[in-house]
Amino acid sequence: MMKIFLIFILWLPLVMGHSTEKIKIGTFIIPKYVRSNSEGEFVQLVKALAKKSGVEVEIVLIPPKRAYQELELGTIQGLFPVVESRDFSRFETITDFYTKEMYIFEKAGVDYKKLKTPKVCTTEGYTYPEGYIQSQGWKKVVTDSDETCLKLLDKKRVDIFIGEVVTVNDAIRTLGLDKKIVYDKFSPITSEKVTLAFKKSTHGKKLSDLFDKALKEIMIDRSYDKIFSTGAIKIEGKK
């Protein structure tokens, strides 16, 4: 009996040492990239990184306004997408894996700059340049999707639409508005790096190192390309 007990005591640390770590990572709905807690390019990327890192992840949806607070409180261990304007130094981050560019879209043949107070449409879930719309004196309309904003723009119920170039162009093609909606592709109003962030802590640093290593590996073996067809790919080390 004593022999069996000793074997169990020696075996237990080995089993515990190989147990899979479980963490909770938060996100919020974004057109194309986060369609649910199981669908979307960013969701698939985080799942791929977790699998390669040997970490079990539960992805949970959180209202955008609460997301960063939940990370700081420790309710969640990670958060994506985190944009550059949120100050990466506040978190433990992996190498930025995408570049979000926002443009002003308008109806062809209309110059919004000639309007005294343009009405601008925005999509819920996106982070917009802080104070930008207010500083322009524009009236803001918030909708649930890029498609809704584009339909309002086409019907001239709004004058301009600020959106992320990849998702908006996808929506334009889907709605057949290729010749009706235009933008200046040489003049983004913002260009921001996008990343996955963990809480500023020893544990957060460990997780960010694990996931960053996994990101480099899937970029090198081109697994990244199976998830994304667009976006900025960076394989240099973390700063």
Domain 22-98+194-227 belongs in CATH node 3.40.30.10: no
Dist. CA 122–CA 125, nearest whole Å? 9
The answer to whether the predicted template modeling score (pTM) of the entire model surpasses 0.85 is no
In the prediction, which pLDDT does 19 show? 61
Q: How far apart (Å, rounded) are the C-alpha atoms in residues 204 and 206?
A: 5
Instruction: Domain ranges for the chain, please list them.
Output: 22-98+194-227, 100-190
Hey, how many other C-beta atoms are within 10 angstroms of the C-beta on 154?
Answer: 17
* Local confidence band at 229 (pLDDT 50, 70, 90 cut-offs): low
**CATH T-level fold of 100-190:** D-Maltodextrin-Binding Protein; domain 2 (3.40.190)
Per-residue pLDDT reduced to its tens digit, 12-67: 454 444 467 899 999 999 888 999 999 999 999 999 999 999 999 999 999 988 99
Structure tokens at 142: 């918030």
Are domains 22-98+194-227 and 100-190 of this chain identical in fold?
yes
